[in-house]
Chains A and B, each alone.
Chain A
Amino acid sequence: MAYDPISSMKQQQSALQPKSSTSNWRTTFAHTWKQHRLLYLLLLPTLIWLLFLRLYPFYFASLAFVKYNPVQGLDGSEWVGFKNFVDVFKRPEILNIVRNTLLISLGKIFIVELAGFAFALLIHETRSPFYKKFVQTVSAIPHFFSWVIVGTLAMSLLTSKGWVNLTLDSLGMDKVGFLSDKFVFPFTLIFSETWKEFGWSAVIYLAALTQINPELLEAAAVDGAGRGARLWNIIVPTVFPTFIFMVVLGFGGLLDAGFEQVLVLYNPALYSTGDILDTYVYRMGLVNFKFEIATVVGLVKSVVGYIAIMSANWASGKMTNYRMF
């Protein structure tokens, strides 16, 4: 069976359940409490975290519904209902920006995960352990670089005087406006993200690959399955649920298309295809102290993210019979 973080967690949870089933909840709770009070103590920090850093800030989400006056605070500000939402969504650019965000984000989720998946398969098939470790480490390193560094690198590689275009030019091909052509720019974003992240995203697939039962592979080999057949019929199907799991997780951040990356690489000529919600909010909201606009977009992002992750989870259940929750 494939590595399955959720069911292994569930197994461990069920091991913690008390055996008695006849007593009422009160005695059950008392029993559990007595038995596991130290574990409950360890839960305390998480509860505090949840209360202060996740639930308490919800109060401030009401900023989206007021004309904010910083001096009188949230309670003293005038309640305007959905006016801020209307203001944001009647802006002429907004649909374009939502579209850019979704396309860039979807592209990144699928292509980064696919690349990580494929890369993990390749690594898995490699014989030399030293080479395997070496390639894996080197390819994961860019994940730890900030976008300011990777962006500068991309700039020097991809401008019209960059190494890539000079190579194209010397081969007699047309130069490509990776960072200046508005139709190419979204692909530049997706592929530079893929370059940065594929090594890192392969880590979880490699973990999944170690869970494949060697007996299954041996049996298939005995039955005459070649390398390709074993890959296609055993390895890929066992790791595929992990791929779906990662994509579903990715949907939670569907409206986060990579603020730092876009901010580093874009310019005003690319707004029509490269501007995303976060960069727009940054320019419109925070730079001009429009807290309400930033909150409205943040709130909408959360709601859409919630809907996206629930739908993806449902779709995943339908497609692979595998749900996260």
Chain B
Amino acid sequence: MFNARRNSGKLSKSTYVLISLVLCLAILAGCAPKATETAPEATEAVAGATEAPATEAVAGCTADWNPTYPAAVKYDPPVQISVPFSASYDFSSIPDDDILANPMYDRIASEMGIEYQIAWQADGGEYYTRLSNDLAGGTLPDAFRVKNSLIGQFVDPGAVEDITDIWEATASDLTKEKKGYPDNSIWQEVTRDGRIYGIAYKEDGLGDDSLTLIRQDWLDQVGMEAPSTIEEFTAVAKAFKEAGLSEYPIAVNQNLVTWDFSSDPIFGAFGVIPAGGQPGYWTKLEDGTLGYSSIQPGAKEALTVLNSWYTEGLIDPDFINQDEGMANDNFIAGMTGIVFQPWWSAHANVADLYAAFPEAKITVIPGPKGPNGESGRAGTSLKGQAVLFRKGVDAKIIEAVINQMNWQIDMHVNWEEYQQYGEYSLGAGFFQGYEWDFDADCNIVPGKIPGGEWTLGKDLIGGYRGMTYPDYPVDTFTSMAEWMKADPASLNMAQKFILEDPNVQRDIEYYNIAVASRDEVIENQFKGRNTEAINTVLPDLMDFEKTAYLEFITGARALDEFDQFAAEWLERGGQTYTDEVNAWAAAQ
């Protein structure tokens, strides 16, 4: 405590004034709106990176590979676009930690005169917190990407531009065709009365499709064939356990139906897709109406199977404390032998597993078959994300982004013609010194940033983010499957280099399996937009369902109470949901 009398003479007047001023300034500085982070200029070239790959290579090395670019619209003076960036870059090989100093940004600046600037950097939940702050404060970046469920939050209050006229005039026929404009369901959320308020995109229409992966080396050890029915899966898992290969052979995690280590093929075998990150699926009932699959009798059968696996110790007793990341750790540690994962596991955790256990061998098999002899999986939601433009943005910026999209989609679709092999890793460049380089003998070797090409161009709003469409990877992986069959003499050095990578070989294999097994995907019969009444009851209903499902699986709630659960679900708002969905169905 200050005591002025006792302390008089100890603190000088100027000290009082100084302390007071400093504190006032500190508080006011805290109140002041945060200054926009200044973005470095994008135009400076990176030392060592060349714009035209391959041919201007190390003296003496000649290549049979001649990449070219599609014709481009070039803006002069350049168009500058401020966009939010991901924070998860690997800066280790980038000069001065400058994200913009990478060849993807240089390429778009020099070819088209489009300069990206960093509004701010964030990922995941923090990304949307920043956007919501910007929305409330009126400081949105020029263009930004938004996930499907939040598009309405920007469109409905009028925070973003109607881009219909510019889109119609600027988007090429190829762009419109590939993006399925205007009929594909990815456009649903940005469309209001026939006008569009953003560019819909979908990175990969098979990106969440769960494939069934099994440890072939373990199958060989126990001398069994690949399982097909649910009963056979149970038998194989028991054999793995009894042989001491795995304590808990089947991987399941707390989020049940999710983007990685999902259990949707187990439910799908019974024709049911329950809620996970998304609401569960709707199915056609015998009386012709739509019913929520999670409360149908098939769901009880699937839960019975999962409960028996839990009690017999075939799934980890701690699975309700494990998310996708922890399930992944278990898999890489060689603790699980039957997992359900998307195709991209080929270059992700399957590669990690092979690195840790050279003897491991994973095979992709059809999903488990249920009582009617069919496999089923949730597939990938075809609700699109979107690139939105803040209200009042310069029309030139919208036009520039669409032009960039035309350019990149042309390059992606006709990548063999342009020999733009960066497209094999989904919209990246393929730059000397980055993804590849020459060695002393003029052979192509991996470049400085292994794997770094993936993130380098991801925040180009008109690039990877915006240009993608549901069948985006099909255009690369189907033609790469042809390369693998072709006579190696007919391939150029870049193609051979790419095919040498075992991760790429597996990507091609797994992706094509995902394409070939598309008929396993269960169709959600409700394809409409959620009404306000649905949005009011949905969050509680999804929580209620997830809790009940986990309790049924662990036995905390007896399966005899399933009908009671179904009745409670209807009572808690499920009836409203059902009525709204059937009203939509009747209107079709």
Contacts and interface: CB of A to CB of B under 8 A. Distances in A.
A131 interface: no
A69 B157 contact: yes
Interface residues of A, number: 45
Contacts of B540: 91-93, 284
A42 B16 CA distance: 7
Interface stretch (A107-115, A122-130, A142-150, A286-294): A286-294
Given A267-B550, A271-B547, A181 B153 contact: no
Interface string B508-549: 000000000000000000000000000010011001101100
A155 B17 contact: no
B550 A70 contact: no
> What's the interface size class on B, roughly?
35 or more
A6 interface: no
B1 A45 contact: no
A52 B539 CA distance: 35
A267 B544 CA distance: 12
Contact of A288 (B17, B539, B544): B539
Interface in B1-59: 1-5, 13, 16-17, 19-20, 23-24, 26-28, 30-31
A267 B20 contact: no
A45 B23 contact: yes
Interface stretch (A33-41, A133-141, A202-210): A33-41
Given A42-B16, A268-B543, A283-B539, A180 B157 contact: no
A70 B13 contact: no
Contacts of A179: 318, 321
A87 B554 CA distance: 33
B321 A71 contact: no
A161 B318 contact: yes
B interface majority secondary structure: helix
Interface in A8-27: 9, 12, 15-16
Nearest to A35: B4
B317 interface: yes
A269 B547 CA distance: 4
Interface string A274-290: 00000000011011110
B76 to A, nearest CB: 34
Contacts of A91: 540
Nearest to B248: A161
Interface of A: 9, 12, 15-16, 35-36, 38-39, 41-42, 44-45, 48-49, 52-53, 69-72, 87, 91-93, 155, 159-161, 179-182, 267-272, 283-284, 286-289, 291
Interface of B: 1-5, 13, 16-17, 19-20, 23-24, 26-28, 30-31, 125, 128-129, 132, 135-136, 138, 149-150, 153, 157-159, 254-255, 317-318, 320-321, 391, 536, 539-540, 543-544, 546-547, 550-551, 554, 556, 572-573
5 contacts: A92-B544, A160-B318, A267-B254, A268-B320, A284-B539
